[in-house]
Amino acid sequence: MKKLILINPVDKDFAGKKIKRSSKIPPLGLGIVSALTPNNWTVKIIDENFTDSIYEEADLVGITACTASANRAYEIAKIYRDKNIPVIMGGIHASLCSKEAAKYVDSVVVGEAEGIWSRLLSDF
């Protein structure tokens, strides 16, 4: 089985300063992407609102990010890419700043992933 890690990064400089940890809601998009992933993949979701992201082996990494967490997303992407693990980035920042995001990841999903996720995994 292949392993997919989906990550919601958080800018560590602002983590917990404006919103109580108990009021944070995991990103729905990562849950949808996980549900769309075929059964021959194991999926792990890491939300840095609740737990720190620690490197672990994977076949593919998907990162979502808003602009406030984009730099942290790029840091995470570098960790995995330095170990030759492909990284895909989606979310509002990647959709609006796709040329910038493409400098840091192997592939950028612009817009909603639902329509292309199976093709993306097939291409992978």
- Please tell me the predicted confidence (pLDDT) of residue 20: 55
CB 70 within 8 A of CB 102: no
Find residue 60's DSSP bridge partners.
4
How large is the average pLDDT for residues 112-121?
Answer: 91
Residue 89, classed as helix, strand or coil, is strand
Write down the mean pLDDT value for the chain: 90
pLDDT band at 83 (very low <50, low <70, confident <90, very high): very high
- Better pLDDT: 87 or 27: 87
Return the ∠ at Cα 86 (arms to 110 and 65), rounded to 5°.
40
Query: Domains of the chain (ranges plus CATH)?
Result: 2-123 (3.40.50.2300)
Residue 46: burial class (beta carbons within 10 Å; 0-12, 13-18, 19+):
buried
pLDDT band at 111 (very low <50, low <70, confident <90, very high): very high
- Please tell me the predicted confidence (pLDDT) of residue 52: 84
- Please tell me the predicted confidence (pLDDT) of residue 16: 55
CB 9 within 8 A of CB 69: yes
Of 71, 104, 70, 69, which Cα lies nearest the Cα of 87? 104
How large is the average pLDDT for residues 36-42?
Answer: 96
> pLDDT digit string (tens) for 49-78?
888 888 999 999 999 999 999 999 999 999
CB 18 within 8 A of CB 98: no
- Please tell me the predicted confidence (pLDDT) of residue 14: 60
